[in-house]
Structure 1
């Protein structure tokens, strides 16, 4: 694919980005409550990622936004105007929304040019062809204008689907797991190219994903869903550094979790007494430590800190994943360290915890 910044690349037409808002949105399938009081405000031109496990309601919310699924109750607004409520239902073709599905949904009997111009029904043949060609050039597929989808690679089919969705210059782009079918080696470059195109078109964009790293790479903000509810909304930094609960924290980092007691700025844990940013009264808490926050060094005879023993070690390129046996810890302690930081023959180690990677969460029925 030609680089997105190539001087020869045609610029994608600019959209008039729309403000999108969901207010107290509910969706039922029979007795199942799929969406439970969704409130979300998306600014014009913003890229927001809907993140969550399978069955959390991400795709259902996308379908409601597109008009493919009527909500049970609540209101959808676009630019302050009701487009779906008890009184109003604007059909999908009237919403100025572009859709990109997980399987790309290209028509196999049509050329790439005809696929991309398919939705340009209000334009003349000459104008629709020109707009389609512009979109195709922008995603670097001009050499496949007359090809059929079956001769394209997965990455090329993804770009063709993106061109088709953007050709009508939608105010809102909705993308359902758009990179899930791509080869792992291609994902980073395709994501970056897609984001550059979305920025250029200025369309308000919702991306559905179950991959936290993908959400952090793409989204201006992230909305994390679980069981049909939005658990937390924020930037990637806010979600990582200030998670609302253990569920959020575990979605953005691999964790070691312990039961402990916090009292007046310190936490008593199986890894020793750790300083924490909590000066509250004594109480039981869940203590989470990111695997990247565990520092490990070869033990010496004079060491008196928290001692552990390496029980497993996995080389991952730039990093290594360690499993450590520690006295007083029932489960193996996991640590992610830079490759070759620890001598390969080291078995007995000293363990330290970085303060910034310690998080406290109140003990509840949900995370006990």
Structure 2
């Protein structure tokens, strides 16, 4: 293929990737090393209230932002280096807690609290997603043609539902006077407040993630099962291999590239979890790194946003994703070279 033809095919994709991926990443990286703040000035403001004979006046000094000719606040940008990263990681609080080996104090810092839950959320749900997806795929693959269609449709429903709507559906079953909460209260003859228990909320968030993502793994595994070598399976049956042995020594090795693929997708997606925090209103108990970045971007009472801290949090989140993906990518590269 000529270079001109190759460039015509690849050029638009490369341009869009640079525009919508590379440029925003570089911008976020630069913003994480600098702080933009409005310029303030102090003024004496006299306030007078009407009185019966004479009015009462008070003078106070107020700090107000400096406005430009267009009426918008004037801002100044300062290069702060790694200060934003230190602020996100906890700064002096983290240093003192680490020196005292006080894990409780470390987990009180927003970043480390979010990191603890994000890692737990990602790594605990991964084996359940793989196992449940494979189990459904095996069951559907061995089912009769008459029931395959309805079973596949029902299995895909959790994946089709919008993430926030799915999270709210699970929440309504357990929060307050939800149907399942009422049943549990009658069964155990006690009052339950699941929303007030952080570990119960964390369990529900993980349950929702597994329920929502397992159908994706099911579809991938089901497609992979159609390519399993039937001669190898028949040879295993003749040799007296049980169902479990055929699954373990024939099917799973054949599906290993798909397992690595699903692992990569799940690690990237679960590490950036956000909908669960919103759907289950767990901001006061469990937050994720993605929600922490969003929280930095929320304006305070004065309307200011912590752009630098949000950029630093986003870069740390991306670094975490790269670290998590290192092992599966290394295996993929080794298999590719082999």
Shorter-chain TM-score category? under 0.3
**Structure with more strand by fraction:** 1
Larger RCO of the pair (alpha carbons < 8 Å, separation 6+)? 2
TM-score w.r.t. structure 1 length? 0.20
**TM-score, length-normalised on structure 2?**
0.21
